[in-house]
Amino acid sequence: MTHTTTLDTVARPSVQAPAPEQRSRARWLRRVPGWVVVTLLMIAVVYPLFWLLTGSFKTQNEFLNNPTWALPEDWTNLDNYIEAFTTGNLGTYIKNSVLATLPALFFTIVFGVAAGFALEVMVWKGRGTVLLLFLAGIMVPGQMILLPLFTIYFQTGLTGSLWPLIITYTAIGLPLTVFMMATFFRGVPREIFEAATLDGASIYRQFWSIGFPMVKNAIFTVALVQFFFIWNDLLIALTFTNRDDLRTIQVGLLNFTGQFGQVQYGPTFAAVCVNVFGTLVIYLFLNQRVMKGMTAGAVKG
Amino acid sequence: MNRVLGDWRAVTTLLGPALLVYTLVMLVPIFWSLGYTVFEGNPIIGFTYVGWDNIAALFTDPKVADALVFTIKYAVVLTIGQVLVGYLLSLLYVFWLKKASGLIRTLVFFPVVLPTVAVALLFQALFAIAPQIGPVNSLLNLVGIDSIDWFASGATAFWVIVIMDIWRSMGFYAVLLYAGLVDIPEELFESARIDGASGWRLVRHIVIPLSLPVLFSSIIFSINGTLKVFDSVLALTNGGPGNTTTPLTLYMYQTSFTYGEYGYGSSIALLLTILCLLVTLFIFRSSRRDLTKG
């Protein structure tokens, strides 16, 4: 773009330019449609979320009698939130989500990083095949493994705890983690590991003191991406939580309207708000990494 | 050198746990699930061997046909929708907002990380007609159109699902395609401009051909994801009204867990997997052909 501007300035004196104010006005008018598009885009993205927030402060009466875009009469009315956490068990759901997500995330990352190292840095026959085997897992729909897993967890007595979720999330997260980690290890110059070998470093030491620190940033990015995948999952959580007190936040939210009966809008809005704005807090600080990681995971296709 | 970097014991230690978990929890169940297709029943009431009956039933069950049609229709419409909207946004970022696009990129991306269930509940309320008329219907009323009961018919519910998923994913595709557009060397635009190309002609003859590879991988990614749609449909319409918005994934789920038919459920899952496999193979073949053409 910089080239264009320099060209413009060079070209300007030779061409008889129209009066400056007329020029700038024409340019300004030309930009109007673009700004309209951007404004509409902003409204389309932000307004639903803002409307959700206003809804979480409204009483049942306001829902029924005021127009839908009316602002809440009392912005400090936290009754809906209290209701969501007491009658709605939102606290239990959040706790379950944390208890299922964090261990699964830990195992996926530890196993995935080690496997990525073994598949990319180490030299052995058949590593290409194993990498392909992991890759195949990205394509397989979750429905294909659901029923056997249900049987396994049922037979081994794991049903009734959060272990089915942790185990399944770990396995489902592995293909993408292994693939992304292998890609990142590929970016580390091979000479480093060869030199370390000549210096007498054992393979574990190379993994821990060289490989690991060099991809530390990448690991964080992958972990962030996996966090959102696991946290937002519905299929696995819905299948393997058979009791109300095991439900994750997504499953709990799905049954929320049922618990209050259809007409209780307020607490549902409050619960959705907690879910949405909890994510917003993470996104506020780490958005650039989230965007980079998520799109990096897609380019694999 | 290879004594250290090719040490089998180390390979086993580092790769072992991942491969073990992956094999036990993903590979074994895939084949196990294949085995289920010749049985009827579930682990609680036991299984009886029925041979090819389940597979044969797939071809005669009108619900499978409906679900298959819905899945494909949804995948095609949504892939076109989200890649197109994402592409338009990325063009907006690169050619209109330029350096100032950072904030808007970040903002439009935000719905991507939102839980689907939360978004679905939000859209239920946005498109609601009772107990309160939601914003969408209010807007329609404002311009003189009567409120529409969006979830009363499969046709309108389908569009709500599509609109919601485009809202959710457009920021993702915009950033993905934006990265591809930014990679195009500036000199190419420069020389095209000097040759007199501008506006639409610049887009058609320079931008689109050069962003084909990244457009292509967006489409692959999109089809792969949309064929497996589950969360958005379950949370927004639960397949209803009737089974008019039921994709294969949801039909499989209902068959297996509502009706306890594991054998038939596995058969539907197999159909879905084959569909994904065929589409992936088809895409890879056609992409390879394009590459050899030049």
- Quickly list H helices, A140-234: 143-155, 163-186, 190-198, 203-205, 212-214, 216-232
**pLDDT > 60? residue B293:** no
**Mean pLDDT computed over A120-138:** 87
In a domain, A165, yes or no: yes
Report yes or no on A140 lying in a domain: yes
Round the average pLDDT of chain B to a whole number and report it. Answer: 87
Which is higher by pLDDT, A201 or A30? A201
**Residue A90's closest CA among A247, A279, A263, A264?**
A247
Which range, of A4-13, A109-118, A224-233, averages the lowest pLDDT? A4-13
The predicted-structure confidence for A228-237, as pLDDT tens digits, reads as follows 999 999 999 9
| Whether pLDDT at B290 is above 70 | no
Tell me if B93 sits within 8 A of B178, measured CB to CB.
yes
Q: What does the alpha-carbon distance between residue B209 and residue B206 come to, in Å, rounded to a whole number?
A: 6
A145: chain B residues, CB-CB within 8 Å: 25-26, 29-30, 33
Q: Per the structure, how many domains does chain A have?
A: 1
Stretch (H or E) spanning B47: strand B46-49
Contact, A183 vs A297, CB < 8 A? no
Question: Is A159 an 8 Å CB contact of chain B?
Answer: no
pLDDT above 60 for B137: yes
Within an 8 Å CB–CB cutoff, is residue B192 touching chain A? no
* Residue B188 at interface with chain A, using a CB cutoff of 8 Å: no
- A207 close contact with B: CB closer than 8 A: yes
User: B97 and B181 in contact (C-beta within 8 Å)?
Assistant: no
Domain contains A194: yes
Please tell me the distance in Å from A19's CA to the nearest CA on chain B. 24
Say how far apart CA A250 and CA B234 lie, in whole Å.
Answer: 12
A272 touching chain B per CB within 8 A: yes
- Reply yes or no on whether the pLDDT at A287 is more than 90: no
**Mean predicted confidence (pLDDT) in A138-149:** 89
Residue A232 and residue A240 in contact, taking contact as beta carbons nearer than 8 Å: no
- Is there a contact between A147 and B172 if contact means CB atoms under 8 Å apart? no
Cβ within 8 Å of B, A 72-101: none
Residue B208 sits at the chain A interface (C-beta within 8 Å):
no
Q: Which residue of A has its CA nearest to B226?
A: A141
Question: Strand pairing partners for B47?
Answer: B41
Contact residues, chain A, for B29 at CB < 8 Å: 144-145, 147-149, 152
pLDDT digits (tens, 9 = 90+) for A239-261: 998 888 899 999 988 887 666 65
- Mean pLDDT confidence for B11-26: 92
DSSP state for residue B133 in the 8-state scheme: -
- H or E segment at B46? strand B46-49
Q: Which amino acid does the sequence have at A282? A: I
Tell me the mean pLDDT in the region B86-107. 86
Mean pLDDT of the residues in chain A? 84
Chain B residues close to A168, C-beta within 8 Å? 25
Residues A254-275 have a mean pLDDT of: 78
Nearest beta carbon to residue B15 from set A52, A119, A143: A119
> What distance in Å separates the CA atoms of residue A145 and residue B108, rounded to the nearest whole number?
34
What's the rounded Cα separation, in Å, for the pair B63 and B255?
11
Any B CB within 8 A of A131 CB: no
In a domain, A102, yes or no: yes
User: What pLDDT shows up at residue A165?
Assistant: 94
From chain A residues 208-227, the ones with a CB under 8 A of any chain B CB are none
Closest alpha carbon to B22 in A169, A84, A27, A99: A169
Tell me the average pLDDT across A133-159: 89
In a domain, A200, yes or no: yes
Domains and CATH numbers, chain B: 2-36 (no CATH), 60-293 (1.10.3720.10)
**Helix, strand, or coil here: B198?**
coil
* Separation of alpha carbons A198 and B124, rounded Å: 63
Query: Does pLDDT of B235 surpass 50?
Result: yes
Q: Cα–Cα distance between A118 and B15 in angstroms, integer?
A: 6
In 3-state terms, what secondary structure has residue B213? Answer: helix
Beta bridge partners of A37: none
DSSP B55-66: HHHHHH-HHHHH
Would you call A124 an interface residue with chain B, using a CB distance cutoff of 8 Å?
yes
Q: Which residue has the higher pLDDT, B119 or A62?
A: B119
Has residue A106 been placed in a domain? yes
In a domain, A20, yes or no: no
**A280, pLDDT greater than 70:** yes
Structure tokens at A258: 């049922």
A8 pLDDT band, cuts 50/70/90, is very low
pTM score, two decimals? 0.88
Q: pLDDT tens across B236-270, in order?
A: 998 878 889 999 999 999 999 888 889 999 999 99
**pLDDT for residue A18 is more than 70:** no
Token pair 């927004």: residue: B236
Give bridge partners of residue B46 from the DSSP assignment: B42
Identify the pLDDT of residue B246.
93
pLDDT of B292 strictly over 70 = no
pLDDT for B100 equals: 77
In the predicted model, is pLDDT for residue B216 greater than 60? Answer: yes
CA distances from A70 to A39, B143, B146 (A): 21, 18, 20
Say which residue, B138 or B290, is predicted with more confidence.
B138
Binding-face residues of B in 132-171 toward A, CB within 8 A? 132-135, 138, 167, 171
Side chain identity at A6, as an amino acid letter? T
Q: What CATH number is attached to the domain comprising A224?
A: 1.10.3720.10
What's the 3-state SS for B241-265?
A: CCCCCCCHHHHHHHHHHHCCCHHHH
Range of the domain at A207: 89-298
Is the bond into A213 cis (omega within 30 degrees of 0)?
Answer: no
Alpha-carbon gap, residue B53 to B95, rounded angstroms: 58
Is B103 an interface residue toward A (CB < 8 Å)? no
pLDDT at A13 over 50: no
> Nearest CB to B43: which of A122, A137, A154?
A154
Mean pLDDT of A27-55: 87
CB contact (8 A) between residue A155 and residue B43: yes
By the 8 A CB rule, do B172 and A294 touch? yes
Task: Rounding to the nearest 10 degrees, give the CA dihedral for residues B2, B7, B10, B16.
Answer: 110
**What pLDDT is stored for residue A259 in this prediction?**
62
- pLDDT above 90 covers a percentage of chain A that reads 33
- Grade residue A37 by pLDDT with cuts at 50, 70 and 90: confident
Report which secondary-structure segment, H or E, holds B48. Answer: strand B46-49
Residue B42 has phi, psi (to 5 degrees) of -150, 170
Residue A137 has pLDDT above 90, yes or no: no
d(CA B100, CA A32): 16
Mean pLDDT of A67-89: 84
CB nearest to A48's CB, from B15, B122, B221? B122
B253 touches chain A (CB under 8 A): yes
Residue A139 lies in a domain: yes
- The verdict on a CB contact (< 8 Å) between A141 and B273 is yes
Q: How much is the average pLDDT of B23-39?
A: 91
